[in-house]
Chain A
Amino acid sequence: MADSFSLMQEQYTKILKKYLEEKNETGLYHAQQFSKKVLENQISPEEVVSLHLDALEKYFPDLPQGVFDSFEFLLEVMMGYGMAYREHQSLRDKQKELETEINVAASMQQTFLPKEIPSVDALDVGVISVPASKMSGDYYHFIKDDNDCIGVAIADIIGKGVPAALCMSMIKYAMDSLPEQRLQPGALLDNLNRVVEQNVASNMFITMMYGSYDPRVHHFYYSGAGHEPGFYYHYDTDTFEELYAKGLVLGIKRDTTFREYHKKVEPGDFIVLLSDGVTECRTDDGFIEREELTRLIRKYKHLPAQEIVDNVFYQLEKLQGFQLRDDFSLIILRRKV
């Protein structure tokens, strides 16, 4: 460090002398280059003044004493800047540390989400889930039971970022600890609600839609806990219908019960589940309408389910200037024709 400082001192003296002799643009350019180096080497402002003073003493010893004294004075003044500069440095280090920790947490959170989507012959499934920042408040889950029934959950945890992520781990573990055999959607939400109600702060809540697809009879059973409605697409009439299951959000009332709904799924029909980040997509002209979303899905409906959700995400992301305001999750389950 001491070495590099004396090197800097030497260099500063050299470029200052050259500038005073030639007084041209090149000299100023050297000064700019030098200031970059100063920052790189974390040299404080008062040390720069001290470099200047040393150079003057060396090359212009005949200057009036007052000039030297004035630089001593300036040096004192710059001390404050130096302190602020060092504080800034230490904040930057701390910020880097925090960022690293959040990155670790974010990659841990990724492990909460299913690594692969279970496949059954009857269904074509597409999933996309993109957080607005590093940590997500959206959660989804797939299970396949011994009868090849596919259980699918989509949940939105209030808020974003770290608190939401912590809450998500609770949902994940609660779902993992549910009995192995297939649970009816209503009963599953009853169970989860009890866990959530006991374990969240008073202003936290979770919305969830849980559905179970039975490929033997092609029925989709579902229940909702205050979750943003999805869509049901009828292949034969080429129409969308709102897929909504009324129910109170999780975590409010201990003894809430959830009604179960069901749909008979015909070949080509599909179920769209989403988080409110999809429908609350906000552009310069205000919020998008739900019709805008069905228009987009319709536009890509000839594609495989995964390509539909990817394309819809891309189009909506584009509408928002590639800056998501909320976590975005979209799931499509289609009965193959």
Chain B
Amino acid sequence: MDLDIRTEEKNGQDILYVGGEVDAYTAPQLRESLKPLTEKDIPNVIVDLADVDYIDSTGLGIFIGALKSVNANEGSLKLIGLNARVKRLFSITGLDEVMDISEEREEAK
């Protein structure tokens, strides 16, 4: 089961639309798409997770890697459109306090 990944550049922001389940098998695919965006000069990345119904800990690791990379390049990373299950994962792990996340997906419209 592959992820459905699409990128879009809009007003100097890179928006990554992800669909599917992010687990140990699909995580490498997400990393490949996300990593180059976070390594730009002052990256500004938005990841739209509206079509993601499940993320496991490997998937979470990809976002942590992305956060570290964005911070190192003095940019920003925002995750939007999280469903309740995914939101809970970010909240339990305390990542909601170090990452910009939102259930809304206004920005992506």
Contact = CB atoms under 8 A, between A and B. Distances in A.
Contact of B65 (A156, A203, A229, A246): A203
A247 B98 CA distance: 11
A30 to B, nearest CB: 46
B92 A252 contact: no
A169 to B, nearest CB: 19
A82 interface: no
B92 to A, nearest CB: 6
Interface in A276-303: 276, 280
B98 A204 contact: no
Contacts of B57: 156, 158-159, 205, 207, 276
A158 B93 contact: no
Interface-centre pick from A226, A228, A253 (highest chain B CB count, 10 A): A226
Contact of A249 (B31, B68, B94): B94
Interface string B53-64: 000111011101
B31 A226 contact: no
Contacts of A276: 57
B62 A248 contact: no
Given A202-B68, A203-B31, A228-B92, A159 B61 contact: yes
B64 A205 contact: yes
A19 B57 CA distance: 62
Given A159-B24, A160-B24, A203 B95 contact: no
A229 B68 contact: no
A158 B94 contact: no
Contacts of A207: 57, 93
Interface string B85-109: 0000000111101100000000000
A276 B65 CA distance: 21
How extensive is the interface on chain A, given as a class? Answer: 20 to 34
A202 B93 contact: no
Interface centre among B57, B68, B92 (most CB of A within 10 A): B57
A272 interface: no
A156 to B, nearest CB: 7
A149 interface: no
A319 B92 CA distance: 25
B94 A248 contact: yes
Interface in A119-140: none
Contacts of A226: 92-95
A132 to B, nearest CB: 11
A55 interface: no
Nearest to B94: A248
17 contacts: A158-B58, A158-B61, A159-B58, A203-B31, A203-B64, A203-B65, A204-B61, A205-B61, A205-B64, A207-B57, A207-B93, A225-B94, A226-B95, A244-B92, A248-B98, A249-B64, A252-B95
Interface of B: 24, 31, 56-58, 60-62, 64-65, 67-69, 92-95, 97-98
Task: Give the 6 A-B CB pairs with smallest separation, nearest first.
Answer: A203-B65, A226-B93, A248-B94, A203-B61, A202-B65, A158-B57
Given A246-B94, A252-B67, 17 more contacts: A156-B57, A202-B69, A205-B57, A205-B61, A205-B93, A226-B92, A226-B93, A226-B94, A227-B92, A244-B92, A248-B93, A248-B95, A248-B98, A249-B64, A249-B93, A249-B94, A252-B95
Interface of A: 156, 158-160, 201-205, 207, 225-229, 244, 246-249, 252-253, 276, 280, 326
